[in-house]
Structure 1
Amino acid sequence: MIDHFSICVKNLQVSKAFYQKTLEPLGYELRFDNEYAVSFGEPRGSDPAGDFWLESGQEKPHHFAFNAKTRKEVEAFYCAGLAAGGKDNGAPGERNHYHEGYYAAFIIDPDGNNIEAVCHQEEYN
């Protein structure tokens, strides 16, 4: 489980728009927004400030994964990410080389970060 993390982005407004659309299927909402940073969180999350932050600036690309509750959420994340301008880095599917039931999709965001949605359930829901 992720408590919170932040990444640096080249263009805060472009990345904010990308993540708002891409994370909507997973239940994430915009929580904080100013000229230097924005944050997103789940409605059921414990931190009212959000657990995922974007900050102005650019470092090397990162990889991070969001927890999806169902395989349908993984698929919706992938479609939303592509529609928001992300690049395919792995269509939804099983990644059994990680472990049985590992179902994930990967998108490259506007800053080159590899973002993933993963469901660890074996059933097809």
Structure 2
Amino acid sequence: FKTNGAEDVLRLDRLLEETEDENNITVGVTKLFPLIESAEGVVNAYEIAKASKRNVMLTFGAEDFTADIGVKKSKEGKELFFAKEHIVLAAKAVEIQASDTVYSDFEDIEGLIKDTEISKSIGFDGRGV
């Protein structure tokens, strides 16, 4: 789910707890993968990551992020480096996984491989498909 801050995570956590309890589902079994796609979300990444024990992974969405900060996404992705590192650090600080954005040029297999190697080298555990 897309989020800009910890309050979104806490609200969803409470809703899930109520729903699980009402349906005789073990409370806490439903896990969350907060999606960060804005400047505000990147700034709040650590608070988002630690907001719920349901969080198992922080995910990054580059397309909406670049639109939010008013830049065009480049092939090299240099405009994403800080945001990516910040999300990785926030996730690792609370011992959850970090997932990089999808690689949108699906016809460029070599680019996908190279970009995935870079993602892995900076600490991402996986990426969206």
- Higher strand proportion, which one? 1
TM-score (norm 2): 0.28
Structure with greater contact order relative to length (CA < 8 Å, sep ≥ 6)? 1
| Structure with max Cα Rg | 2
